Amino acid sequence: MTRFTPEELKAARDRLVPDVVAGGLHVLFCGINPGLMTAATGHHFARPGNRFWPVLHLSGFTPRLLKPSEQRELLSYGLGITNVVARATARADELSAEEYREGGRLLAEKVAGLRPRWLAVVGVTAYRAAFDDRKARVGPQGRTIGASRVWVLPNPSGLNAHWTAATMAEEFARLRVAAEQG
């Protein structure tokens, strides 16, 4: 993995990272916003401590552990990645409530156009802020966006100590089963 200097990471602040999307996906995973490592590399969930890629594999979504640089391979499995807020920051707490709300509005427009079976937001706090749903919990939501159903997954950041890779994989697998059933 490429090593970046603190200056290079700082220079990645506010960069945009292209989505990995296509119409009619089985699941569109939605992160909170790109971190600086993601922005520096251009690859989603690129920070070494992030458990997204291992959990995706452990849950059965991918037949092998993908590297962030292989993110476009997700499309061949009917999967994609986007973010609630597009701009990169060092920490999600740098985002304003307005950015979350506007991100939720733009995300709803994106989902309505792409029409994935499921939108999977990774991070219940981000989902609550983006969609003004303070009672949301991890799991399937009552909300739909067009024909797309919504599932909230635990945040795979290494900072989320409440969930282990194994317990996250169980929740991701619940979504995978639901997505396979249509």
Query: Is 44 a residue of the active site?
Result: yes
CA–CA distances in Å: residue 132 to residues 109, 124, 135, 173: 16, 11, 9, 26
Candidates 33, 50, 83, 155; catalytic one: 33
Least confident of 89-93, 110-114, 119-123, 141-145: 89-93
The SS3 call for residue 75 is helix
The rounded mean pLDDT for the chain is 94
Query: Is 160 a residue of the active site?
Result: no
The b/e string for 135-160 (b: 16+ C-beta within 10 A; e otherwise) is ebebeebeeebeebbbbbbbbbbeeb
Candidates 26, 44, 50, 83; catalytic one: 44
- At 36 the pLDDT is 94
pLDDT tens digits, 122-145: 999 999 999 999 999 999 999 999
Mean pLDDT across 95-105: 96
pLDDT band of 18, cuts 50, 70, 90: very high
CB 31 within 8 A of CB 83: yes
- At 20 the pLDDT is 98
Mean pLDDT across 142-170: 90
DSSP label of 92? G
